[in-house]
Amino acid sequence: MVILFGGLSRRIFMGGSGLNMSRRIRRTPFTDKVESYGVTGFTVVNHMLLPKSFKKSVEEDYWHLRENVQIWDVSCQRQVEILGPDAEKLVQIMTPRSISKMRIGQCLYVPLLDENAGIINDPVLLKLDKNRFWLSIADSDVLLWTKGLAYGLNLNVKILEPQVFPLAIQGPKAEDLMAYVFGEKIRSINFFNFKYFDFLGTQQLVARSGYSKQGGFEIYFNGFDLGPKLWDLIWENGKKFNISAGCPNLIERIEGGLLSYGNEFTIENNPFECNFDKFFKLDSDHNFIGKENLEKIKKGGINKKIKGVLFDGGPCPPCTKPFPVFSKKGKKIGQITSGIFNPRLEKNTGLSMIDNDFWDDGNLLDIKTFDNVLREGIVSSLPFN
């Protein structure tokens, strides 16, 4: 059996190319539903399927997300649970962001660093109890890193991957839909906070969060077999709000300046290059892995930084490989790692690490796309307005 990208869903396949399904690439509680609602492509994140496209074009999907509400299977956002007397100690060792004042029921964005101050991952941290945390991770094997640290430091913790499968409800009508499904209490959840709600006798964690700038919620769903019933409940109630099956939208993600681990940055990058220094203070008392090297980086300064790029030349081709970025004198100064035409801005938009001599807003540059067109661009702050 193969899941094919960009047009076909599931079929029995003998030979050829495609995504060969096995237990190493895991289905989710909602995979059957996204297939029945018109998924046309998948990718793999954290060894699990993530829908990447539906029957609508990416532009149609963009406008729908900005104006209505969508349901996304983002079960690939795996949780690394850290439980036990040393749980907070371990989490704090992993990130430069102080969590000493973090409340139960709160979420925090916490870059995780290695010994060189390279970014291991950029998860959302959820505090479930005094000695219990979830790291809701991007695409890297944080479970193994965490288990290794706990063992090497001889910490009294248990590390596991709970059977939790996030389902996102995103868009400006998300709050009204969720209130209709779970009750008015849902409106009292502040941004990056969570509460528990009943679903068929089970308690489900619901956070006001999501991988879009349009607002919405993520249901950290616990109960694999009940997944289709949850989807159906939300879908039926969502019809009055013009609900659609969707997925993280590339146009909206770039427009909002939302970075993707493995695309815009990797373990080779440090938090200063990614504009993550707003999430921590180096003069805080706590120690963390990579602190000494991060202090050296700050003292010495950085050579590049993530910026937005607006560029001309008509809708650009798919950015399947980075587009090289040049100064007006022909020097390569970066590369666009995610790029697409934005119909609202009527410009191509991209995310790029730009060398320090050229990263000021308003600087002119050139982008070479795969259609062999040299397009003039301009450096922009993020998010794009």
Nearest Cα to Cα of residue 352 among 316, 325, 377: 325
Question: Could you give the angle at which helices 87-94 and 142-152 cross, rounded to 10 degrees?
Answer: 120
Rounded mean pLDDT, 204-233: 98
pLDDT, tens only, 72-100: 999 999 999 999 999 999 999 999 999 99
Which tokens is 156 given? 């009294």
Contacts of 197 (CB under 8 A, 6+ apart): 182, 183, 185, 186, 203, 204, 206
pLDDT, tens only, 151-185: 999 999 999 999 999 999 999 999 999 999 999 99
Rounded mean pLDDT, 43-59: 96
pLDDT value at 202 more than 90 = yes
pLDDT value at 130 more than 80 = yes
Q: What is the pLDDT of residue 7?
A: 38
Q: Is the pTM of this model over 0.75?
A: yes
**Main-chain dihedrals φ then ψ at residue 142, nearest 5 degrees:** -65, -30
Rounded mean pLDDT, 12-16: 34
Contacts of 253 (CB under 8 A, 6+ apart): 211, 212, 260, 338
Q: What is the pLDDT of residue 20?
A: 72
**Main-chain dihedrals φ then ψ at residue 363, nearest 5 degrees:** -65, 135
Contacts of 264 (CB under 8 A, 6+ apart): 274, 306, 337, 338, 351, 353
Q: 185 exposed, middle or buried (CB, 10 Å; 0-12, 13-18, 19+)?
A: exposed
**Alpha-carbon gap, residue 50 to 250, rounded angstroms:** 14
Nearest Cα to Cα of residue 179 among 208, 144, 155, 158: 208
Q: What is the mean pLDDT of the chain?
A: 94
Rounded mean pLDDT, 293-319: 97
pLDDT value at 10 more than 50 = no
Domains of the chain (ranges, CATH numbers):
2-77+163-254 (3.30.1360.120), 79-160 (3.30.70.1400)
Share of residues in the chain with pLDDT > 70 (%): 95
Predicted confidence band of residue 2 (pLDDT cuts 50, 70, 90): very low
Contacts of 217 (CB under 8 A, 6+ apart): 168, 169, 170, 174, 175, 178, 186, 189, 206, 207, 208, 209, 210
Residue 315, Cβ neighbours under 10 Å: how many? 11
Which tokens is 74 given? 């983002």
